[in-house]
Amino acid sequence: MLLVIPKLLDVARLQEVQGLLRHADFLDGKLSAGKEAQQVKHNQELSTNSPQRRRLDAIVMAALVQHPHYQAAVLPLRVASAFYVRYQVGMGYGFHIDDPVMGPMSGRYRSDVSTTIFLNDPEDYQGGELVIRNSFGEQVIKAPAGSAVIYPSNTWHQVTPVTQGERLVAVTWAQSLVKNAEQRELLYQLAQAREGLLTKMPVSEELAQLSTAYSNLVRMWSEV
């Protein structure tokens, strides 16, 4: 499932994030890549020791993990700290698949769901499209600033080279309570249907049955 969450960050938060990144130190993105990814990865990442990181996480990651659609679609068990990434002219990230297991030895997690959060306007740069390859072909995404795109980590994807301007994004990964992507998609659909019934028929046998089915499927499929 590919899901776009529009307006995850409002204008005021985006302006603060952009200001923090404008004065931040960036390093070669190859430093955090494995041997295979190093061949196709050409970007810059915020230093892990950056003094701006704590405030950035308080704005960006707090908005993401608290968003009801993110919680319903991802069912997160563990969420990684974000990478704040800059693509300048000539930079891109060729087709790759995310590492299946990430994090330090003291905090390893399985990457089930990837998320890209767009931090500046698509008019600020040319190129820099996120291209996700799945069974339906390739989907090209260049979302408005403040939007988040959620997609399975086992899909091949790339960032096309930036030809003008600068692209700013935050990228993070999550280990889900439900490992199987098709099961997660079904649970998300059921969760959305339940929200609709809560609005239209808050006291009904149909809502009770749907909530029971949803809860029992999460219990059946989740890994804790």
Give how far the C-alpha of residue 89 lies from the chain's centroid of Cα atoms, to the nearest Å: 23
DSSP-derived secondary structure for 121-147: -GGGEEE--EEEEETTEEEEE-PPTT-
- Residue 53 in 3-state DSSP? helix
The pLDDT of residue 15: 97
Global pTM value: 0.94
Residue 46, H or E segment: strand 44-46
The pLDDT of residue 203: 87
The type of residue at 98 is D
Using CB atoms within 10 Å of the CB of residue 41, give its burial: 0 to 12 exposed, 13 to 18 middle, 19+ buried: buried
The pLDDT of residue 134: 86
Q: What is the pLDDT along the chain (224 residues), one digit of tens a residue?
A: 999 999 999 999 999 999 999 989 999 998 887 777 788 999 999 998 999 999 999 999 999 999 999 999 999 999 999 999 999 999 999 999 999 999 988 889 999 999 999 999 999 999 999 999 988 899 999 999 999 999 999 999 999 999 999 999 999 999 999 999 999 999 999 999 999 999 998 889 999 999 999 999 999 999 99
